[in-house]
Amino acid sequence: MAFGFGKPKFLKYLERNPDTITIVVAGSYGRKSAIRALGTILGEKFTVSFGVSSQVKADIIILDCESAQEFPDFKATMVVVTACRDEAEAQKYFAVANNAIATIVNRSDVKSEYINKYLTNPTAVTYGDELPANYYFENHDTSIEGQTGDIINMNGEHFPVELKILGEHNARLVVMACAVGRFFGMEREDVLRAANSLTPLNGRMAPAKGINGSYVIDDSADGTPLSHYYGIRAICTMDASSRIIVTNDPSKLENEKFDLLTEALILANQIPQQVPEHFKYFTDELALEQYLGERAEEGSIILLEIPLPAIIGKYLW
């Protein structure tokens, strides 16, 4: 006699509801933002559930890759691959993607060599910042309130959007979610309306009013080098009386050119003997906040990579 625990409830749910669309989000980083973008866009037409424990009947269930791997016999409708740090991760995530009915891959954060070597799903399409990605965003202007530009699809068609999202890495997640929405039959107008309504999570490139008439871009919940890189790029494209970055990791700043940045304020346990030009160290938050109170002015933009609630006013979105 064989003993076992039977099929998990999730797989039984799918058997009872075979029309349910399942989307798995896999990647080294960017998964939470991708899930949020998918939920917002797809939620314009469908009932969307997150995770495997929901008892509510849904048109679409979105899963993180780690949850999906608990079910070895599970075949997703679609897999989204947001990023791969190395070859081992590429093998892991593309194994899931190749087993799906359809897949879409971030060409900007996954090396071409990994895509060419490990991606075998014949339905696969890509998204990114530019060609040769099948779907990408063409930026026309960036301000503290977001980005305007065109989403360009695999047929070369342009669709104007006004995104309340900062950072190229976040814009391409919106592009991905729009592509997925169209794949599942959403009307173009519904997709674009949802894209324009999407707002950032607090702490993830979220714009807010700051002290002394300044603006803060709160990126304190995302410590990845990718977010730092695109955060710097974002503030350097905006009109500002000064551009200040606040961080606790000076190693991120080693390759930055400070011709467009005014200064870097660094919270650290101790101050090094050699301090580069444009760097200013602080050993406690109060001293840092007081300095910002003196330094920030109307029109300043502060990229905040550590939590400093005292300098943040009301979020714009």
- Is 19 exposed, middle or buried, given 0-12, 13-18 or 19+ CB atoms closer than 10 A? exposed
- pLDDT at residue 5 in the model: 44
Alpha helix stretches (DSSP H) within 198-316: 225-236, 285-295
- pLDDT at residue 35 in the model: 95
- Does a structural domain hold residue 36? yes
- Is 69 exposed, middle or buried, given 0-12, 13-18 or 19+ CB atoms closer than 10 A? middle
- pLDDT at residue 7 in the model: 65
- pLDDT at residue 254 in the model: 80
Say which residue the tokens 């039959």 belong to. 185
Strand partners, 304: 218, 246
CATH number of the domain encompassing residue 237: 3.90.190.20
Stated pTM of the model: 0.91
Alpha helix stretches (DSSP H) within the chain: 9-16, 31-42, 65-68, 87-98, 112-118, 168-183, 188-197, 225-236, 285-295
* End residue of a domain, out of 155, 180, 197: 197
CATH number of the domain encompassing residue 62: 3.40.1190.10
- pLDDT at residue 3 in the model: 36
Helix (H, G, I), strand (E, B) or coil at 182: helix
Residues of the chain whose pLDDT is less than 50? Answer: 1-5
Rounded distance, CA 315 to CA 173, Å? 21
Query: What does the radius of gyration of the chain's CA atoms come to, in whole angstroms?
Result: 22
- Is 237 exposed, middle or buried, given 0-12, 13-18 or 19+ CB atoms closer than 10 A? middle
Residues 237 and 124 grouped into a single domain: no
- pLDDT at residue 255 in the model: 76
Residues 171 and 33 grouped into a single domain: yes
Please give the DSSP secondary-structure letter assigned to residue 156.
-
- Does a structural domain hold residue 240? yes
- pLDDT at residue 54 in the model: 56
Would strands 300-304 and 135-143 be described as parallel, antiparallel, or unpaired? unpaired
Give the residue numbers spanning the domain of 305: 206-315
| Total domain count, the chain | 2
Cβ neighbours, 10 Å, residue 167: 25
- pLDDT at residue 55 in the model: 63
Residues 170 and 298 grouped into a single domain: no
In what helix (H) or strand (E) does residue 109 lie, and over which residues does it extend?
Answer: none
Residues 136 and 164 grouped into a single domain: yes
Spacing of C-alpha 307 from chain mean position: 19
Residues 139 and 261 grouped into a single domain: no
- pLDDT at residue 83 in the model: 95
